[in-house]
Amino acid sequence: MQYRSIIKEEWDKALEQMLSSHDVFASVSNEFGQDYEHIKPANISGITYNKPKPATSLKNFFLPVRENVTGKRTSEKPRIIIGIPNCDIEGLSLLDDIYLDKDFNDPFYRKRRENTLLVASDCFGIAEHCHCLSYGINPWSSRIADLAVVSMDGKIIFRIISGKGEDFIRNIPVSGLPVEKELLIAVEKEHSATESLLSEANKGLPDYKETGRIVREARKETWEKYSARCVSCGACATICPTCTCFLLIDKPGFEKIKQLDACQYPGFERVAGGEDGLYELHTRFRNRYMCKYVWKPQKFQPVACTGCGRCIEACIGKINKNELFMELV
């Protein structure tokens, strides 16, 4: 893996110059927490590096909650997204499998993917419900993203992951320097420390290989017990980086609106004539687990839950999926 470094102030100036030709989004921390913001000169200094998990998942940059898919396509400036945790980078690879399918790809998704430079950020430290490592996902990126960044010792260190990332580094208006060996050792130490924190925080959580069996074997009583506090708000699916369901809504004038959907909503599976295979709350609740831990791993790639923990944080009923897994392991 190749590394380059740039003095932090020079990187900030280079970013400012890029704002005229690019839409730049980055993870920013403020009094409301940590989330992506559209970067302007005033908030460049607030960009957060090395910290886990913005509140919004990366999915929303590629699958907007609602869009007119028959409307006029507007050309968008090239985008740069900075500060993406590796759980979301891995989640994007599942979205790619679905939306870039060779026979039925989504042109809106494809265009956004082609138009976006992905700059991941290594997680130094963990947030309360992070459990990526339990599912085989490292808290730092080495694939799918274009670059990964670390901020350390007054420098921004880039790990170059793709050819697109390499071109970006070559073309920014300040020259990148080789990274000293001591700094790379310090970065590796941070990786190990974060991995230890994850292992410690998630002791007793079954790994991903076990999850499919647990979900398949769980009895109706378990689903009834855990869904008892579910109010069908759909927040768990909306916030999840790997939930992909959508509706197409017909509008007058032959317009079609694509809107994100969630299997937790009543009526999700209702068909003409009124039949609904997921009418009962506990069946809808189970559906999400079957989707994440059984069906998607069978059909696409092995890991369809990245362990980001956002569904736990978002749940109004305080339902914690990890408690379910630990009870049944």
Is 264 a binding residue for ligand SF4 by CB under 6 A? The answer is: yes
Beta bridge partner(s), residue 287: none
One of 234, 278, 283, 303 touching ligand SF4 (CB under 6 A): 234
Is 282 a binding residue for ligand SF4 by CB under 6 A? The answer is: no
Is 18 a binding residue for ligand SF4 by CB under 6 A? The answer is: no
Is 292 a binding residue for ligand SF4 by CB under 6 A? The answer is: yes
Is 244 a binding residue for ligand SF4 by CB under 6 A? The answer is: yes
CB of 208 to ligand SF4, least distance (A): 10
Token code pair at residue 174: 């300040």
Please tell me the count of residues contacting ligand SF4 according to CB under 6 A. 34
Which residues within the stretch 172-231 sit at the binding site for ligand SF4 (CB under 6 A)?
A: 230-231
Q: Which stretch binds ligand SF4 (CB under 6 A): 14-22, 36-44, 112-120, 284-292?
A: 284-292
Is 235 a binding residue for ligand SF4 by CB under 6 A? The answer is: yes
One of 63, 99, 307, 325 touching ligand SF4 (CB under 6 A): 307
Token code pair at residue 161: 């992951």
One of 145, 157, 161, 237 touching ligand SF4 (CB under 6 A): 237
Q: What is the DSSP letter of 60?
A: H
DSSP 77-140: --EEEEEE-HHHHHHHHHHHHHHT-SSS--HHHHHHHHTEEEEEE--SS--TT--GGGGT--SS
Is 262 a binding residue for ligand SF4 by CB under 6 A? The answer is: yes
Under the phi-then-psi rule, with left for phi > 0, alpha for psi from -120 to 50, and beta for the rest, what region is 204? left
Q: Rounded to whole angstroms, what are the CA distances from 89 to 47, 95, 219, 242, 260?
A: 19, 10, 33, 10, 20
Token code pair at residue 275: 């039949």
One of 54, 165, 241, 297 touching ligand SF4 (CB under 6 A): 241
Is 27 a binding residue for ligand SF4 by CB under 6 A? The answer is: no
Q: Which stretch binds ligand SF4 (CB under 6 A): 66-74, 145-153, 169-177, 303-311?
A: 303-311
Is 69 a binding residue for ligand SF4 by CB under 6 A? The answer is: no
Is 288 a binding residue for ligand SF4 by CB under 6 A? The answer is: yes
Is 316 a binding residue for ligand SF4 by CB under 6 A? The answer is: yes
Question: Apex CA 14: angle with CA 9 and CA 16, to 5°?
Answer: 95
Of 216, 221, 232, the residue nearest 290 (C-alpha): 216
Token code pair at residue 130: 């992070």
**CB burial class (10 A; 0-12, 13-18, 19+) of residue 307?**
buried
| Phi and psi torsions of 309, nearest 5° | 80, 5
One of 82, 148, 308, 324 touching ligand SF4 (CB under 6 A): 308
Q: Which stretch binds ligand SF4 (CB under 6 A): 113-121, 157-165, 178-186, 299-307?
A: 299-307
**CB burial class (10 A; 0-12, 13-18, 19+) of residue 109?**
middle
One of 183, 232, 279, 294 touching ligand SF4 (CB under 6 A): 232
Nearer to ligand SF4, 3 or 208 (CB): 208
Is 306 a binding residue for ligand SF4 by CB under 6 A? The answer is: yes
Nearer to ligand SF4, 89 or 240 (CB): 240
* CA–CA distance, 96 with 262 (Å, rounded to integer): 19
Token code pair at residue 232: 């069908």
Contacting positions for ligand SF4 (CB under 6 A): 230-237, 239-245, 262-264, 287-288, 291-292, 305-311, 314-317, 319
